[in-house]
Structure formats: C-alpha cells, structure tokens
Amino acid sequence: MRIVSWNVNGYRAVLKKGFLDWLNACGADAVLLQETKVEPDQLAPEEREPEGWQAVWNWSKKKKGYSGTACFLRKPPLSHSFGLPGDEFRGEGRTILLELPDFWLFNIYFPNGQMGEERLDFKLRFYDRFLEYAQELRATKPVVVGGDFNTAHTEIDLKNAKANEKTSGFLPVERAWLDRFAAHGYLDTFRLFEPGPGHYSWWSYRFNARKNNAGWRIDYFFASEELRGRVRAAWIEAATEGSDHCPVWVEIADQ
C-alpha cells in the first residue's frame, strides 16, 4: 500500500495549481491532506470527492478557513472517526483515524506552538493524548501515523539547527516528545532508508528558502514496530510544489 501525506496549506489554493492532475497521476492508494482550510460544502462535487476516490473530510468547527484534514482513498476504510478522545482536542479538524484491514491509519495536523506559551502547552497536551490513544489502538492492530508534526526531531532535520534552538518546532521539550514517541516503538519510516542530512518537507516562503534548500523536515510517517518488516520504502517528493510543504510517502507491503 502506497500512502502519501501533504500539508497543502489551503485546498482551494492547491486546486488552482494542478492538484487534481497530481492526485490522479500520483499512484497512491491513500492520500492524507492537512491544513485544508475549507469545508466540503464550499467545494464543487468533483473537488470534494474526485472521481475514483472516496473522500473523508474533517474541518474546523471553531474557526472558518483554519486547520482541517482530508483523506482520499481508492478503497473505503472499514471505519473512520474524527478527533482524539476528550473535548479539548476536538473542533479544529486536526485528526482523521481510518481503520484499514491490518492497521490503523492516522492523518493528523499537529498544532503549531509558535503563537505563545498557551498554544505550546496545548500542542504538548495534544501530543501526549495522541500517544495514549495510539497505544490504546495498538493493542488491537498496528498503527501508522502520517501528517505534519510541526517539529523537526534532530539537528539534521532542519538546515539551521543552532539558530532555531529557541524556536517552537525545534524546542528541546518538543523534540523530547518525539524521542519518547520513538521509544514507545514508533519508527520514523524515512530514517529507515535515509540517515543523512539535507532532506526537508517544509520551507519558508521568505529568503528563497526553497531554492536554497534551507528547510525543515516536519512531515512524517511513523509506523509501529510490528510493521518494520513490511515498510518497503519511504521518501520525500521535494520537487512537487504548490504549497510551502511537499508530499511525503511510505509504502507498506500487504500482509
């Protein structure tokens, strides 16, 4: 199964940049989108559910044009649900959980902590509740999570590590949570294949950052340890534009 995740930074914006052509040519079985910033009823039918795909949408009920996630699938999931347990983490459209035949698949747009201490605290609580929930689900079948984690894990996951040590997205407390997540037996699938620096999934629109490849790797696929032998490939589609993020991929062999 080939799965791709992409923070599109506005679904309607990326539609104007050839998204549907990309979608139908990409060869994925499942497409996970974050930061869609739209409600389905604002879209034409062929945009809401492109031909040949089954769509699942989750959007912000708290603020129009904010956050949001969507999944396009070639085959329908066994089930789907929204949000994390607990009212605190619902309402921003950040999470879609798909039950597939042999694993759970999360599409998550994790919060950004750059708007101040209160929002950073919310991000860290969101991280913790997600891990608790993933562990609960993992008792029944393996877990795969794709999305924008809004944190670069190690120094090789961003271009200018030293300059960003006090910036949310690379704070020690955020990176420590990713350490803890990995210690629970979740594999950064990209790092199973590529140990080196210089691979990013997000670039600022300023300072010619993308042209100079001065980016951050904050978009990931993690898979629980039980799937290690079935992860066949993971890669970053850095050449695809249309957003300040690019698509990231994982391929998992069928059971």
Question: Where does residue 27 rank: exposed (0-12), middle (13-18), buried (19+ CB within 10 A)?
Answer: exposed
Name the token pair of 17: 């940049």
Catalytic residue among 41, 148, 188, 219: 148
Is 148 catalytic? The answer is: yes
Name the token pair of 118: 């209160």
Which residues in 59-126 belong to E strands, given as ranges? 69-73, 79-82, 95-99, 104-109
* 3 state SS of 145: strand
The residue type found at 222 is F
- Per the CB < 8 A criterion, the answer to whether 60 and 100 are in contact is no
Phi, psi of 85 (to 5 degrees): -60, 135
Q: How far apart are CA 118 and CA 167, in angstroms?
A: 15
- The residues annotated with a catalytic role in the active site are 148
